[in-house]
Amino acid sequence: MKYNVGDIITLEDNIEYIINDIVSYKDNKYVYLSIPGDKDGSSILIQKVIVEDNEECLVNLDSEEEFYAVLYLIGQKHMNDN
């Protein structure tokens, strides 16, 4: 599956998420997800995009450090939104 901002996808937990953003970090691509309609930001999820058999797949991050580095990039990218 090719992932794009605005897509709504269902993950393995059978919950629908919306792709809010896609960022690159250290030669990897990451998607920033949340549950549609989430107003308080409690459903934030970041997944790494990998390619298996020419297909994009989402996987968990390798470490807490990776999570915070990508979260920082997303925050910097959207600092002046609003």
Euclidean distance between CA atoms 47 and 67, whole angstroms? 9
Please state the pTM of the whole predicted model.
Answer: 0.87
Residues 23 and 70: beta-carbon distance below 8 Å: yes
Secondary structure element (H or E) that encloses residue 32, with its range: strand 28-34
Tell me: the pLDDT tens digits for 13-29? 999 999 999 999 999 99
Task: List the domain boundaries for the chain.
Answer: 8-77
Stretch 24-48: mean pLDDT: 90
